[in-house]
Amino acid sequence: MNATSPDMLPVPDFGARRRAALARLGGGVILLGAAPLQYASRDTEHAYVADRELYWLTGLTEPGTVAVLTGGEDARLVVFARERDAEAELWAGPRLGPEGAGALSGADEAFALADLDRRLPELLRSADRIHYRFGRGDTLEEQVLAALHHARARGARSGTGPRGVVDPGEILDELRLVKDAAELAAIRRACALTVEGHRRAAAAIGPGAGEWEIEAELEAAFRRGGATRPGFDSIVAGGANACVLHYVDNADRVPDGGLVLIDAGAELAFYHGDVTRTWPASGSFAPAQRDVYQLVQSALLAGVEAVRPGAAVDAVHDAVVRVLTRGLVDLGVLAGDVDGLLEAGAHKSFFPHQTSHWLGLDVHDPGDYVQDGASRALVPGMVLTVEPGLYFRPGLAEGVPEELVGTGVRVEDDVAVTPTGHEVLTAALPTEISAVEALVGARS
């Protein structure tokens, strides 16, 4: 068995997750449907990507699945799944069927998907609110609207029934934000695979190397280690391409003397790593590149140091921005008092994005960054990225020294909040200049 196989990860306690959801649900109902199939063209399907909320609450990942969690005195989980079909399974693989879906999820009841039309109105009848995300535009949405209309019509006589539809994220986003032990274990494994992929990519870097060749080494390492897939489109950006924040063409050759920015992460058991490193193509940073890299790495360390229980998530960004702004003054890119420059947001021309996002089942995991008008306090179990960068875009870098134009540097780590501080989940991939240089072209 592969050392990073999902089979070796702790089994999530989906029952505990549902109990936590029920504690917030009151007399409402949460209704979750599987993600739809996506097509590249005609009948050619993309690889299926399961709905994250449905998985988090039930462990179910098959297309066509619907889960209904009802609160109140008759709290229960009811699931609907496609029936077994030998012909369909010949083409697309085995199905769980209602019985299998019920057993896997621990549902109180399980029915065929064909029964949803008939049973859904009754499941919604006594709910005061329905937690469902509109906008799917599919059959399930039509069924929800029909059931809602039916339940409201009956409720007028009884004084009960749904009086509103709200986003399930109102309940689930907050619960997903703080990771349980199984989730942290999966994220650690995904981060370990991500680190290995970046090491393999660094070994393939050299002047003239194709960005696509480096991408191939990166993603092959992910899959070789047991990852399901890359968690998002990998960025392999040589030279000025690094100044394009979401560059994913990966179609150029690495310029001699240039830098290579790689932003990529492995997905394992639905959880993600997300790491950025910037490498010198020649194996050594030129003096101006070294100055910028050292500044960004210092900002990374300051941001990571700010991660601790009770600290505001904005404090991480503030720590990074202060270091970057002071460094931009030292580089001669900005002029003036640091505090005044910070107040004016002068850094945004060169660092236009936020420092952090939540990480988990989604690369950009859900969860509010502001509560009651104030920056959210970090608590143990949260996982976030810390990713400062500086980008001196050609044509948009007035006043920038010529040797910096076209330079883009970003360095990113994944960090878990612990009871006593933080854990850098990607620390095995170094950020120090000498260690970074040593990994470039270092094929084993």
Q: Which two tokens stand for residue 213?
A: 């060749």
> Of residues 19, 149, 229, 364, which has the active-site annotation?
364
Q: Catalytic site residue 412? A: yes
* C-alpha dihedral (55, 59, 63, 69), degrees to nearest 10: -80
Query: What are phi and psi for residue 277, nearest 5 degrees?
Result: -135, 155
Q: Catalytic site residue 263? A: yes
Query: CB 153: neighbour CB atoms within 10 A?
Result: 11
Residue 310 near residue 381 (C-beta atoms within 8 A): no
Q: Catalytic site residue 364? A: yes
- Encode 376-404: b = buried (16+ Cβ within 10 Å), e = exposed: bebeebbbbbbbbbbbbbeeebeebeeeb
Q: C-alpha 288: how far from its chain's center?
A: 33
Q: Catalytic site residue 357? A: yes
Helices (H), 371-417: none
Burial of 6 (0-12, 13-18, 19+ CB in 10 A): middle
> Of residues 391, 393, 413, 437, which has the active-site annotation?
391
Q: Catalytic site residue 131? A: no
Q: Catalytic site residue 224? A: no
Strand duo 383-386 + 413-418: pairing:
antiparallel
Q: Catalytic site residue 372? A: no
> Of residues 387, 413, 414, 437, which has the active-site annotation?
387
Q: Catalytic site residue 414? A: no
Residue 349 near residue 399 (C-beta atoms within 8 A): no
Q: Catalytic site residue 347? A: no
> Of residues 129, 357, 393, 422, which has the active-site annotation?
357
> Of residues 183, 215, 217, 263, which has the active-site annotation?
263
> Of residues 267, 362, 365, 412, which has the active-site annotation?
412
Q: For residues 276 and 262, what is the distance between their CA atoms, to the nearest angstrom?
A: 5
Instruction: Identify the three-state secondary structure at position 182.
Output: helix
> Of residues 24, 152, 353, 376, which has the active-site annotation?
353
> Of residues 7, 42, 43, 443, which has the active-site annotation?
43
> Of residues 131, 347, 410, 422, which has the active-site annotation?
410
Instruction: Identify the three-state secondary structure at position 119.
Output: helix
Burial of 351 (0-12, 13-18, 19+ CB in 10 A): buried
Q: Catalytic site residue 132? A: no
> Of residues 51, 62, 213, 274, which has the active-site annotation?
274
Q: For residues 11 and 5, what is the distance between their CA atoms, to the nearest angstrom?
A: 12
Query: What are phi and psi for residue 293, nearest 5 degrees?
Result: -60, -45
> Of residues 118, 157, 246, 443, which has the active-site annotation?
246
Q: Catalytic site residue 198? A: no
What contacts 144, CB < 8 A, 6 or more positions away?
Answer: 31, 120, 130, 132, 134, 165
- The residues annotated with a catalytic role in the active site are 43, 246, 263, 274, 353, 357, 364, 387, 391, 410, 412
